[in-house]
Structure formats: C-alpha cells, structure tokens
Amino acid sequence: MRRRITFKQQDTQLLQSQHLPLDEIASFTMMPAETKAQIIISAPHGGICYPNDVLSLDETHLMKFRSLEDTATSLIATSLHNDSRPVILANLARGIIDLNRPSDALDPAMYDGDIKSITTSPDYAPYVTAGYGVMPRLSAQRQALYDEKLPLSFARELVSRFYTPYHDRLAETLSTAKDGCLLVDIHSMPDNTSSKPLPDFVFGDDHGVTLPHQYRAIIDAFMKDTDYSFGWNYPYAGGYITRNYGHRTGRHYSLQIEINRALYCTNNHRYSPHAVREVTGLLEALISHLEASMASVMAAQ
C-alpha cells in the first residue's frame, strides 16, 4: 500500500530559505544527548542556508539550487532528538556543498586550474562525472548551477569550514556512543524515478554491508505492521555517510532512510505540518522500537 497526501494550499507552509553572509552560517547544528547514545541521527541534506555575499541568486537561479534540498528533513530529524539520541544537522544547503560525498569528489569541469583526479574513491567517480560531486555542478533537473568556472580555493574553503567540521563532529559523537551504536542518516526522495514509482520509504544498508541482518529483520517486521510501503537498497543503497561510518561486523552500524516527499510536501518547498508530524511519528516509533530491540540483541551476544 502506498500512502499519499492530498495537499490543500491553506494546509501547507513554505519552507523559506535563509540568506546570510558565509561567515554567519554555522558549520552545523548539534543537538547533543545527555547519556551515551544507542542511535545517532544525521541530516546532511536538510540545510537551507545560502551565502548571499558569495552568490547573487535571483528567484529562478535560487530554485535550481533548492531543487537539491532534501526538503524538511532537518525538521523531521530535529523532532527525533531526545536525551539519549543526538542529532546533527547541516546548515549550508546541499546545492552549495554535499556532505554525503567524499571530500575530494571535486568536479574538474567546475574549477579553474588543473585537477588531476576526480576522486580517490572510485565508487563516487560516476556521481562526480554526472555533475553531483561534493560541490554539485547541476540542479536536480540537470541545469547548470554556475555560469562560469569557480576558483578551486572556494571549494577548499567550503570543505574546510563546513564539510570537515560536520564529519569531525559526527565521528566524535560515534566514538563516545555505545558499542553497537546505529547511525541513522535521514534523506528524502522524489515520488518516482524515470522507470517506476517509489515506495514511501527506502532503507539503505549498502546491500547488507552496514547493518546486521537481525536489525533488518526488526525493521521489516515493524514496517509490515504499518500501512506504509517500503523497500531496501533500490534505488538508494546508502551514500558516503552510510558506507563510511558503519559496518555490520564493526563497532558501529549505519542505516540510510529515504522518505518519499509525496508523503508530506509539494514540489515547491511547501510542506504539510500535519503530514510531517505523521512521518515523524512513524520514524519515532520505528527508532524507539529499534533501540529496545538492539539492547536485547546486544545482551544476547
């Protein structure tokens, strides 16, 4: 079964972007836990801040950048925070820098100067070539985001000021978490691909690499008891954060959750607060169930 919301204009709110000087945009927002974490929430694509002293964006150009936002995922992730569940949020928009790529996933077509290698991570070379490296070159509709080439120093500045601090804090949070901690990376996806409609949720564990099979079974059983549709690893098996920070045989595990935006928002960055609460309620119940089940699995080992 696929759940979809019929939106009425009066029942939605516009998620406004924020325009600030680059120096005034915080590297990330951290909502810490007071006790050791069993689950950590990350939302790397929910940022809505655009540097108005670096980019001069009219409404049309802004919409190209905003097409890459995972709309309202920061709102959803924020609602999942509690005293034992820290949350880390991106502030700078994904269209400016994509925290879910390797830091060296630079697109030679974007910069002045000679960049010898697209990335040292071969798995991500196709993303860079397609226009979606650590600094995207194209919008979601494959329109050019920049009219001219950029200085490579700008990319390095963004990596230093936004990418590195986010990943450093995420790694630090994992290092102080409980053994068997699960990193949950929250994303959103369109309603369909070119080939077929997508389910309400897609869970990604890099095809079984980043999550123990017991936890996948727990998620399956929980979701089958709801009226939401879901799938695993197609077409989203987990990005850089999921692959980099979790392994089913390691100290930490990871799970990417892609939420179908048709559940709660329109295509013009308007969202239904009621629908967001429904989605958040489902995720809160799932994550709380996982926390309780993970404790039992760890105790049995």
Share of the chain above pLDDT 70, in %: 93
Helix%, strand%, coil% for the chain, nearest 5:
35, 20, 45
Contact 94, 136 (CB under 8 A): yes
Q: Across-strand partners of 197?
A: 192
Paired tokens of 298: 């760890």
Q: What is the pTM of this model?
A: 0.95
For the chain, list the domains and their CATH numbers.
9-98+167-300 (3.40.630.40)
SS3 readout for 86-145: CEEECCECCCCCCCCCCCCCCCHHHECCCCCCCCCCHHHHHHHHHCECCCECECCCCCEC
pLDDT tens for each residue of 184-210: 999 999 987 767 889 999 999 999 999
pLDDT tens for each residue of 161-172: 999 999 999 999
Cα–Cα distance measured from residue 112 to residue 123, given in angstroms and rounded to the nearest whole number: 25
